Amino acid sequence: MLDVHPPHNPTHTWRDFFIHIATIVLGLLIAIGLEQLVEYFHHRHQLYEAREAIHIELEVNTRLLDAILSATRDAQTSMQRNIRLLQSPAREHKTPTTALEYPWGIPYPRSNAWQDAKASGAVNYMTTSERAETDYIYGDLDLAEHFAMSWLQQNNITAAIARSAPTIGQLSPQARQQLLEATLQTDGQIVSYRMLITFDQRAIKRYLTFPAQSGLQSAEPRTH
């Protein structure tokens, strides 16, 4: 902030006194205005950097989500094959349980840029619609991670059951039924996960196609 110093010469008349007061007030207004202007451009630059980082991160995420969708298609194919094997008639029960495949291999989408924008307060200067859309995208990515972890946990359960016998025919009826039910559940989890990733992929592509406006929403951040 600028320092405003009173004149060194003493005031002798009311006119001099009011000029002195007006000079001080004008100096304070200029100082406050300059400070707000500097702060405005600082927030503008901060928001610009946050948007650039988010844009780059979401471009990376679109490629990761493409890889995830490809992995889910392969996994669904494996689940359907597993189901057919587990429901196969007795003459085919010599199939080794190693033929039952429960792939996963899911990459994790990134959210560092969004977390940094929230930590720095840059999100407080986004437009309401921009912040809501970006929060929706990253919120779905977080939700998708929970789906992926549930899928991985279910995979571990099915793999453990399958390893309890060398062939499908040597599985106990209870273990075989449990494995079939777990496989069906895994297939359902993959379908739900794939739907969520598809919706989020569309939202990201829409965000990248129609970038947010460059203006600040307001001079002051929102408080919650």
Q: Check whether 183 has a pLDDT greater than 60.
A: yes
Is the residue at 9 inside a domain? no
Is the residue at 33 inside a domain? yes
pLDDT at 215: 47
Is the residue at 70 inside a domain? yes
Mean pLDDT, residues 5-22 taken together: 65
Is the residue at 35 inside a domain? yes
What CA–CA distance (Å, rounded) separates 104 from 71? 7
Give per-residue pLDDT as tens, 40-87.
666 688 899 999 999 999 999 999 999 999 999 999 999 999 999 998
pLDDT at 19: 74
Q: Check whether 7 has a pLDDT greater than 60.
A: no
Is the residue at 123 inside a domain? yes
Residue 18 is encoded by which pair of tokens?
């009011």
pLDDT category, 21, cuts 50, 70, 90? confident
pLDDT at 34: 66
Exposure of 151 in the CB half-sphere (CA atoms within 13 A): 25
Mean pLDDT, residues 134-159 taken together: 92
pLDDT at 71: 95
Is the residue at 223 inside a domain? no
* 3-state class (DSSP) for residue 9: coil
Supply the range of the domain harboring residue 32: 14-209
| Lowest model confidence (mean pLDDT) among 17-31, 128-142, 190-204 | 17-31
> How many structural domains is the chain composed of?
1
Q: Check whether 29 has a pLDDT greater than 90.
A: no
What CA–CA distance (Å, rounded) separates 55 from 133? 13
Q: What is the dihedral of CA 115, 117, 121, 123, to 10 degrees?
A: -110
Is the residue at 216 inside a domain? no
Mean pLDDT, rounded, of the chain: 83
Is the residue at 6 inside a domain? no
pLDDT at 151: 93
Q: Check whether 177 has a pLDDT greater than 90.
A: yes
List CB contacts of 53: < 8 A, sequence separation 6 or more: 113, 116, 117
Task: Using alpha carbons, select from 160, 55, 155 the residue that is nearest to residue 113.
Answer: 55
SS (H, E, C) 84-118: HHHCCCHHHCCCEHHHCCCCCCCCCCCCHHHHHHH
Q: Check whether 100 has a pLDDT greater than 60.
A: yes
Q: Check whether 114 has a pLDDT greater than 80.
A: yes
Mean pLDDT, residues 144-163 taken together: 91
